[in-house]
Amino acid sequence: MSENVHFSSDDQKFIDEAIEACQRMGEEAALLLVGSRAAGFGSSWSDLDLWILGDKTFLPIEERQRYETDGELFYEAHELWNRRDYEAHWTFYDMNDLVEQLSQWNDEKMWILLTSCVLYCSSDRIEAIKRRFSSYPTEIAERKLKWLFGKYLMSLGPLNTAARGMPVTALVVAGQVIEYLCKICCLAERKPFPYTKWLVEVAKKTYLGAKVYPFMEKAVLGIEEFVNPPAGKHFRELIPLKELRATEEIVQTGLKELGWHCDWVDNTDEAVNEALKRPTL
């Protein structure tokens, strides 16, 4: 476990409760610290997020039925504990079910697992699962990248809605462009991307992210120009639109530098058509 992870006495009490629950979930059950603290983004008010990975056949009938319906079991700390500035909870997953989800290349779950720390039980099986899903096979990464690159390209055009007196729409589109950019940065290195809270922080530490982050930052800092466009300034020169559109060539070059010598990197219509064909990753 990371030496930078520390627990208060209240944290430890909840962890001990989780360990007791974990011990009832089979011999190979494990308790993991996940989320912000495990990934190195924790602060004094970060939630205490835990996963229990075990065997669902050990669940009581009622909980087993709920698990089969929801795909997980969520348990929150008692009310008095949660009156603090942060909360504590654990989520139960059947180990085999989780591996099946990971086999479908569930990006966020992969990232959560890969950044997790084992708090209880032998880490051998967990480490084996981490190694198996530590990066995407090339064909999976390319499929995801091509689709996201197409979505990113499709979002650049609607940025001009700011010039039509539609600043809210332009802000929404700018957010989409940044989201797609960040996911591309992670996938370009065959790595999964995290959930939204940490997407930018993780992406900007990648090779491609270091190149495009300054443009994303300038776009956000200049977002006032979407709300109140300067008189006489052509819409293509509005800071958010100009900065975000400037990333296209950088992304194309960066992908090639990372080994993605694919037709769709230059033939952008191919990537857009792929994004149009498939609604999701």
Report CA-CA distances (Å) from 69 to 5, 57, 64, 73, 177: 34, 15, 9, 10, 35
Q: What is the pLDDT of residue 80?
A: 46
pTM of the model: 0.90
Q: What is the pLDDT of residue 161?
A: 84
Rounded-to-integer distance, Cα 52 and Cα 74, Å: 10
Q: Would the pLDDT of 281 be above 80?
A: no
C-alpha angle with apex 277: 274 to 281, nearest 5 degrees? Answer: 75
What's phi and psi for 261, nearest 5 deg? -90, 70
Architecture of domain 9-132: 2-Layer Sandwich (3.30)
Q: Give residue-wise pLDDT tens across range 75-114.
A: 887 654 554 556 889 999 999 999 999 999 999 999 999 9
Q: Which of 91, 109, 101 is nearest to 192 (CA)?
A: 109
* β strands within the chain, DSSP E: 30-34, 48-54, 73-76, 88-94, 117-120
Q: Would the pLDDT of 1 be above 60?
A: no
250 pLDDT band, cuts 50/70/90, is very high
Q: What is the pLDDT of residue 164?
A: 79
According to CATH, what is the number of the domain 138-277? 1.20.120
Choice between 27 and 199, residue whose per-residue pLDDT is larger: 199
- Look up residue 57 and give its DSSP letter: G
237: number of CA atoms within 13 Å, CB side? 6
Q: Give residue-wise pLDDT tens across range 130-164.
A: 999 999 999 999 999 999 999 999 999 888 887 77
Rounded-to-integer distance, Cα 258 and Cα 142, Å: 12
Q: Would the pLDDT of 258 be above 90?
A: yes
Domains 9-132 and 138-277 share a fold: no
269 pLDDT band, cuts 50/70/90, is very high
Q: What is the pLDDT of residue 78?
A: 64
> CB under 8 Å to 193, separation ≥6 — which residues?
107, 108, 111, 182, 183, 186, 187, 199, 202, 203
Q: Give residue-wise pLDDT tens across range 197-237.
A: 999 999 999 999 999 999 999 999 998 888 888 888 888 88
- Domain positions in the chain are 9-132, 138-277
Q: What is the pLDDT of residue 79?
A: 52
Q: Would the pLDDT of 40 be above 80?
A: yes
């690159």: which residue's tokens? Answer: 149
